[in-house]
Structure 1
Amino acid sequence: MKIKRRLLYALAALLAVAGLAVSAPRAAFAASLVEVTSFGSNPGGMRMHIYVPDSRPANPAIVVAMHGCGGSGPGFYSGSEFASLADRYGFLVIYPSAMQEAGFGKCFDTWSAASKQRNGGSDPVSIASMVAYAGQRYGGDQNRVYATGSSSGGMMTQHMLALYPDLFKAGASFMGVPFNCFANAADYPPGGQCTGGSMNRTPQQWGDAVRQVNPGFSGARPRIQLWHGTNDTLVPYSLLQESVEQWTNVFGLSTTPTSSDTPQSGWNRRRWADATGTVQIEAYSIQGAGHSLPSSGMAAAAVAFFGLTTPTTPPTTTPPTTPPTTPPTTPPATSACRVTAAVNAWNNGLTANLTITNTGNAAINGWQLAFDLPSGQTITGGWSASYAPASGRVTATNAGYNGSLAPGASTTVGFQATHSGNNGAPTAYALNGSACTTG
């Protein structure tokens, strides 16, 4: 029995490490991961690392990215795609390192009584201190703070959104559990009721757990994105629904989604929008996946959900003192990309194939194609790229196999959409922030 238990522990630890994903190759930047040894109140005794991209606005957004049990901040930096996305979009990334032993190594404390109280101590207070430090030292925007993480980090994501709804604007929890799922340290994996496969509370009970943290809070709650593999047995897939029940209750929404789609093969997404049409909750069921998230492209979907996918531009050191007296009336004759669209429409539906050609002189390694979807069109599924959001200004992110485009090379992606009469092709294409020609 002891040997079997040790083998299970070892397997779980390997799975937790696998949950870091394989990151795409990053371009050469001067920025590097920096450790901060004194960042403020640190009752959790945690380590802090931060990634500050070379190109960023004066007040960049802050993303807190948290590892799984047995991992570390530097490990999650190396094994996930958030730093490369920070290079592209100009936000700061904080990588905390958990130091408390539980279950499969060092994990984020989501079980102790102190961790379940706002400003009660332990890891949540340490993480909040890191966010404040990023604001003081690097000008990080305290009104644009986001949380994400894998496994133990996914659990802490939901935890921080419950404790500090006035600090975090949104979160993306990979393989997490609802807030207050763990009764105490003994309940933490590999044993216990929370992840034992039998956890089942009512939506009201889950929602009450969040509300009782700060009964007087009346502000806007942070939006949340939830991810889980259907074959995950370490943190059972059934806990995805428990998280859905918690957060729909917190938002006062029905547990029945307002829409569902498949952004890319194997990604089944449910969405819950409020009365204004704002999507407050997304839940992704990744078909056939075990305890192995986030995988390629998922970090980009999380960053898009946060609303951080506007590429940053380097500051101009010597801006012109007066605007041009005769601004150009036509765009430049050349562009680094060309997009050709082919639309096949019927009744209230259509499919669109977009052929992207690299017309520049340099290879493209990793791309995002932004475009305006005509009014009344809503994407319901796609292939060869992931798409977010489903309407308006949409960003298509490359799949794992088509992210590289040599000069002159092309790739074709596509989507299916509904429409209310306007079945035209998308417009205003931009590849990695650079406008594209059409035709």
Structure 2
Amino acid sequence: MHFFSTVAAAAALAGLVNADAYVAAAGPLVQVSAFKDGPTKAGMYVYVPTKKADKAPIIVAIHYCTGTAQKYFSGSNYASLADTHGFIVIYPNSPSSGGCWDVASTGSLTHGKGGDSETIVNMVKYAVTNYGGDADRVFATGSSSGAMMTNVLAGAYPDVFRAGSVYSGVPDGCFYVSGATTGMATPGWSNSCANGQNIKTAQAWGDLVRSYYPGYNGTYPKMQIFHGTADNTLDYPNLAEQMKEWSNVFGISFTKNVTGTPQSGYTQMVYGDGTKLVGYSAQGVGHTVPIHESMDLSWFGIA
């Protein structure tokens, strides 16, 4: 299975379907041409509402393969919700020719070692300095390749992000490819991971996450993870592997399933007391699960 034989058709719609009724933002998406703080050439786009909160929360909304910052802006409700709640939204734009994110190289997976992940972190720092963003309230979300990057950011930069919401991704480190090359259409690719065949113990996944920021002893971002049972691009077993990974990082166990939550056909999987890790299995949903922006804001503690 090659990336674009399976992703191009499905992921092109990933950011264009959301569970909440779409509402256009009051203002435009702005390219931040002054941002030059690499290390990669990912572009920074930002939405700052007219009525921005003092010390505004920051949401990093990360597009899918074949997508762009503009597509994720126009295909989701984060910006319109920013008009209501006063937070800042950063929309990174992938530097790869196919629009995918580097979630496979040692640099991007590891704290302070480069890659797209460090470029996105530098965008957050830019927003704190130049737009009045609150460094203590930074969150990440994304679909497909953007979901993968959300997991990568949570693992490599837990000191930056407070929570993540993942739509149809894979575990942090699942796509690792030795010597992966950035700037290509597909910056590293793992058939076994995409097919849901990278099966590890919870301890092994947790150890992998911890290895990406050696010596870090602080807390990790709380995680909310969505996946469809009919996903044939990043297959459904990746949900279980993500839940195993983060449950080990948090040191918590599965507690219960809640059917019909947040809607018919979905099952909520609660770990611990549900404040650090929850999963959502979407029956019959393919790649990717529609964005549930209102749930994201609640998970982030913004609304």
Q: TM-score, normalization: structure 1?
A: 0.64
* Deviations 1:44-72, CA, capped at 9 Å, x for gaps: 21111000111221111000000101100
* CA drift at 1:167: 0.7
Overall identity of the aligned pairs, in %: 39
CA distance in 1, matches of 2:161, 2:24: 29
Q: Hey, what does 1:94 align to over in structure 2?
A: 90
Q: Hey, what does 1:260 align to over in structure 2?
A: 258
CA distance in 1, matches of 2:252, 2:17: 35
Match of 1:106 among 82, 91, 99: 99
CA distance in 2, matches of 1:216, 1:191: 28
Question: Secondary structure of 2:225's match?
Answer: strand
CA distance in 1, matches of 2:285, 2:188: 20
Contact 2:16-2:71 at 8 Å conserved across structures: no
Q: Hey, what does 1:201 align to over in structure 2?
A: 200
Q: CA 1:121–1:214 in structure 2 vs 1: closer, same or farther (change >3 Å)?
A: same
Q: Hey, what does 1:325 align to over in structure 2?
A: none
CA distance in 2, matches of 1:92, 1:267: 30
- Greater share of residues in helix: 2
- Out of 115-124 and 157-166, give the one that drifted further: 115-124
* CA drift at 1:258: 4.6
Q: Which runs of 5+ in 1 are unaligned?
A: 310-439
Match of 2:23 among 26, 30, 37: 26
Question: Bigger relative contact order, structure 1 or 2, given CA contacts below 8 A and separation 6+?
Answer: 2
* Deviations 1:259-280, CA, capped at 9 Å, x for gaps: 534221112111113xxx4610
Contact 1:171-1:225 at 8 Å conserved across structures: yes
* CA drift at 1:117: 1.5
Q: CA 1:211–1:62 in structure 2 vs 1: closer, same or farther (change >3 Å)?
A: same
CA distance in 2, matches of 1:216, 1:74: 37
User: 1:133 is matched by which residue type in structure 2?
Assistant: Y
Q: Hey, what does 1:42 align to over in structure 2?
A: 38
* Deviations 1:23-57, CA, capped at 9 Å, x for gaps: 5443562x221100122421221111000111221
CA distance in 1, matches of 2:238, 2:62: 19
Quick check: 1:15 aligned with 2:10?
Answer: yes
CA distance in 2, matches of 1:280, 1:13: 33
Q: CA 1:238–1:188 in structure 2 vs 1: closer, same or farther (change >3 Å)?
A: farther
* Deviations 1:114-171, CA, capped at 9 Å, x for gaps: 1121111110111011001111111000000000000000000000000111110000
Match of 2:278 among 276, 282, 286: 282
> Any residues of structure 2 matched to 1:190-269 within 5 Å, and which?
192-254=191-253, 256-258=254-256, 260-261=258-259, 262-269=261-268
Contact 2:77-2:293 at 8 Å conserved across structures: yes
* CA drift at 1:302: 1.2
CA distance in 1, matches of 2:75, 2:189: 24
Question: Secondary structure of 1:145's match?
Answer: strand
User: 2:262 is matched by which residue type in structure 1?
Assistant: P
Contact 1:189-1:195 at 8 Å conserved across structures: no
* CA drift at 1:183: 2.7
Contact 1:20-1:293 at 8 Å conserved across structures: no
* CA drift at 1:211: 1.1
* CA drift at 1:192: 2.2
CA distance in 1, matches of 2:206, 2:220: 12
Contact 1:52-1:91 at 8 Å conserved across structures: yes
Question: Secondary structure of 1:269's match?
Answer: strand
* CA drift at 1:82: 1.1
Q: State the structure with more CA Rg.
A: 1
Quick check: 1:125 aligned with 2:122?
Answer: no
User: 1:249 is matched by which residue type in structure 2?
Assistant: N
CA distance in 1, matches of 2:25, 2:67: 25
Q: TM-score, normalization: structure 2?
A: 0.91
> Any residues of structure 2 matched to 1:11-410 within 5 Å, and which?
12-22=7-17, 24-26=21-23, 29=26, 31-101=27-97, 105-184=98-177, 185=180, 192-254=191-253, 256-258=254-256, 260-261=258-259, 262-273=261-272, 277=273, 279-295=275-291, 298-309=292-303
* Deviations 1:242-292, CA, capped at 9 Å, x for gaps: 0000000001112x235534221112111113xxx4610010011110003
Q: Cα RMSD between the aligned structures?
A: 2.1
CA distance in 2, matches of 1:110, 1:28: 30
User: 1:223 is matched by which residue type in structure 2?
Assistant: K
CA distance in 1, matches of 2:55, 2:286: 38
